[in-house]
Amino acid sequence: MVILLNTPNMPKPKDFMEAFKIIYTVLGGLGIFFYGMKIMSDSLQATAGDVIKNVINSLTKNRVFAVLVGISVTAIVQSSSVTTVMTIGFVNAGLMSLAQAIGVIFGANIGTTVTGWIISIKIGKYGLLLIGLGVFPALFGKSNRWKHFGYVLLGMGMIFFGLEIMSNAFRPLRSMPEFISAIQYFSGKHYGAYIASVLVGAILTAIIQSSSAMLGIVIAMASTGVIEFQTGVAIVLGTNIGTTITAVLAAVGGNTHSKRAAKAHAIFNLLGVVLIMTVFPFFLGLVDSMVPGSPYTPAASGDFPYAAVHIASAHTMFNVVATLVALPFLNHLASLVIKITPDKTIREQHHLVVLGNVSELLPATAIIQANTELMKMEDIVGRMFRVAKEYVSSPEDDARTLAKVKDYERITDNIQKEITVFICKMMEKPLSPSQSREAQAIVRIADELESVGDYIDKLITNKTRFNVNCKFTGEAQRGVLELFDHVEEFYKSVGKGLTAPESFDLTLATRTMEELRLLCDSTRDGHLERVSKGEYDSMTAMTYSDMVTSLKKIRSHIYNISQSIDRSTQSESV
C-alpha cells in the first residue's frame, strides 16, 4: 500500500489541489468578467438607447450605411450576439429587408472587435480602482446620467479585474508538464493544429454563447504564455463561427426571412474563416509586421506583453477584410440564402418573436418592435371600423360580416396580451426616462385599442337587436352612420399621431372629443324624439341608446390614445 502511494506516476494530492484552485479561480474571474460586461452593456444601452433608436430608424437600402449601423450598435452594446438577435427580430417583424440585415450583420462582426481592444488594454491592475471610482456615482448619483456613467466605470473595472484574476490563475499552467503535453498538438505551427484550434474556439463559443468571454479567456492565456500567438488567433477565428449559433437559435420559430438572415450570418462567418485559413501563415506574418513588438517574446516576468494587442489586431483585421471582400457580393449572398431557404407557406404574417428571450433584445429595439406590433393592431382596428360600417349600413344582418368583426376582435385581444407581456419583460431592464415613458405609452395604447375593438363589437351586436318588424333604417340609421363617420375620422387622425408623434396636436384632439360628445347627445335625443312621434317602436330606444353609447365610449378610448401619444413625447423634467 505504501508503495502504491509513492508511485511516481500517481497524481499527488498537491497536484489535485493546485488544479482545483486554478479551476475555481478561473471560473470566479470569468464570472466577474461576465457580470462586468453585462453591467457595462446595460448602462451603455440605457445611455445611448435613443441614439440606437434613431440610427435604426434611419436605415436605408445603402449597404455601406447598413454596415456602419452594425458597427455602431455593436460597439455601443458590446455584443455582436445582441445585434444579430436584434436584426433577426427586425427581419421577422418586417422592419428590415434581408439585404439590410446582412449588411448590419457584416458591421456587427467588425463592431464586436472593439471588445478585444478594450480587453487588450494593460490596466488589469487598475480594475479595483475603476470599481471604486464607479460605485459611488452608481449608488449615490442624483441623476440617471451620473448613475449610468458610474455603472459603465464599475462594469469596466469588473472586466479588467476579472481578466487579472484569470491571468494570475493561468500562469501556473505554463509550468505544468501535464497541461503542456495536453495542448502540445494545438501549439504546433501546421494546418492540423490551426484547424483543431478553430474547432475548439467554435465549439466552446457555441456552448457558452459569448464570443467576448472566449476572447477574454484567449487573451488572458496568450498573455501569460499558456498558449502561443498563432493558437490564440486560430481560436478567435473559431469564435466567429461559434457565435453564429446565437442567430440560428433566435430564428427558430421565426418566419422564412429571419431564417434566411441567420443562415447568411453563418455562411458569411464560415466562408470568412475558410478564406483566412487558406493564407493563415501569411496572415499571422502580416499582423506581426503591422503591430509593434513581438507576440513571441516574453518579458522578464515570463508574460507576453504584446500578445493581447496582436490578437485584438488579428481579430479586427479578419473581420474588416472579410467584410470588404463580401460587401460587393451582398446581393449574391442574399440570393443564395433565398434559394436554400425557400418559402414553405404561401403567405406569412409578420409577427414579433415575443416567446423568444426578451432579455437578449436592446430596450431601444424592443420598443421599435413593439411599436410595429402596435401599428399592426391599429390597422386591424381600422379594418374593424370599415367592416362594422358595412354591417351597420346594411338593412339585413349579414352573418359573414358579423363573424369577420368578431374575428378581428379576437385578434386585437391576442395582440394586446402579446404586447403587454413583451413590454413588461422588457421593462425589467434598465431604461432611460424617455424609454420608460414610451414603454408605458405602448402598453396603455394597446389596451385602449383593444377597448375600441370591444366597443365596435358591442355596436354591431346591438344592431342585431332590431327585430324584423322594426329594421334599422331611415333617420335612425342615418344618425348613427353620421356619428360613426365622425368617430372613425377621429380615430384616423389619432392613428396618424402613432406614426408621427412629434407632430401630434393634443389640443385639436381635445376639441374634437368635446364636439363628438355633443354630437353623441344630440344623436340620442334625435332618436328619442322620433320614438315619441311614433316613427319607431319604443323598444328600439334602449338599443339605439346602447349603440350611441358604444360610439361615445370609442371616442373616449381614442382620446386616451391621444393623451398617451402626447405623454410619450414629453421631455424629461429637470
pLDDT along the chain (574 residues), means of 10: 46 64 82 81 69 63 75 74 71 72 84 78 72 86 80 84 79 67 72 89 82 81 85 90 77 70 86 90 90 83 84 90 86 86 54 48 76 88 90 77 87 89 82 82 93 90 66 72 90 87 85 90 80 68 81 92 85 44
Q: Is residue 357 included in any domain, yes or no? A: no
Find out whether 387 and 407 touch, Cβ atoms under 8 Å: no
pLDDT at 29: 83
Q: Do 387 and 306 belong to one domain?
A: no
Q: Which of 385, 440, 447 is nearest to 417 (CA)?
A: 447
In this structure, is the dihedral angle defined by the CA atoms of residues 481, 487, 493 and 498, taken in order, positive or negative? negative
pLDDT at 488: 92
pLDDT at 234: 92
Q: Do 376 and 491 belong to one domain?
A: yes
Q: Do 175 and 278 belong to one domain?
A: yes
Which residue blocks in 351-473 are alpha helix, DSSP H? Answer: 363-393, 399-426, 433-463
Q: Is residue 347 included in any domain, yes or no? A: no
Q: Which of 164, 154, 152, 163 is nearest to 131 (CA)?
A: 154
Q: Is residue 8 included in any domain, yes or no? A: no
Q: Do 287 and 422 belong to one domain?
A: no
pLDDT at 558: 93
**Grid cell listed for 142:** 442624483
- Over residues 425-470, the pLDDT tens digits come to 888 777 777 788 888 999 999 999 999 999 998 888 877 766 555 5
Q: Is residue 353 included in any domain, yes or no? A: no
Find out whether 362 and 51 touch, Cβ atoms under 8 Å: no
Q: Do 130 and 165 belong to one domain?
A: yes
HSE toward the beta carbon, residue 11, CA cutoff 13 A: 10
Q: pTM for this one?
A: 0.66
Question: Where a domain ends, among 282, 309, 340?
Answer: 340
Burial class (CB in 10 A: 0-12, 13-18, 19+), 46: buried
C-alpha–C-alpha distance, residues 277 and 503, integer Å: 54
Return the amino acid letter for 532.
S
Q: Is residue 306 included in any domain, yes or no? A: yes
Q: Do 431 and 305 belong to one domain?
A: no
Q: Do 283 and 336 belong to one domain?
A: yes
In this structure, is the dihedral angle defined by the CA atoms of residues 201, 202, 203 and 204, taken in order, positive or negative? positive
Cβ of 473: how many Cβ atoms within 10 Å?
A: 12
Cβ of 534: how many Cβ atoms within 10 Å?
A: 8
C-alpha–C-alpha distance, residues 453 and 378, integer Å: 10
- Over residues 170-223, the pLDDT tens digits come to 777 666 666 666 666 777 778 888 899 999 888 888 887 777 778 888 888 888
Q: Do 312 and 370 belong to one domain?
A: no
Burial class (CB in 10 A: 0-12, 13-18, 19+), 501: middle
Entry field: residues in the chain: 574
The range of the structural domain enclosing residue 484 comes to 362-568
Cβ of 500: how many Cβ atoms within 10 Å?
A: 9
Q: Is residue 573 included in any domain, yes or no? A: no
**Grid cell listed for 40:** 457595462
pLDDT at 345: 47
**Grid cell listed for 241:** 463561427
Return the amino acid letter for 4.
L
Q: Do 253 and 394 belong to one domain?
A: no
C-alpha–C-alpha distance, residues 56 and 45, integer Å: 14
C-alpha–C-alpha distance, residues 28 and 343, integer Å: 47
C-alpha–C-alpha distance, residues 268 and 207, integer Å: 20
Residues 6+ apart with CB under 8 A from 184: none
Q: Do 446 and 518 belong to one domain?
A: yes
- Over residues 262-278, the pLDDT tens digits come to 888 888 889 989 989 99
Q: Which of 385, 384, 366 is nearest to 423 (CA)?
A: 366
Find out whether 541 and 449 touch, Cβ atoms under 8 Å: no
Burial class (CB in 10 A: 0-12, 13-18, 19+), 295: buried
Q: Is residue 354 included in any domain, yes or no? A: no
Q: Do 325 and 420 belong to one domain?
A: no
Find out whether 368 and 352 touch, Cβ atoms under 8 Å: no
C-alpha–C-alpha distance, residues 198 and 184, integer Å: 15
Q: Do 241 and 366 belong to one domain?
A: no
Q: Is residue 10 included in any domain, yes or no? A: no
Burial annotation 261-290 (CB, 10 A radius, 16+ → b, else e): bbbbbbbbbeebbeebeeebeebbeebbee
C-alpha–C-alpha distance, residues 514 and 526, integer Å: 19
Which CATH number covers residue 491? Answer: 1.20.58.220
Q: What is the total count of domains within the chain?
A: 2
C-alpha–C-alpha distance, residues 97 and 64, integer Å: 14
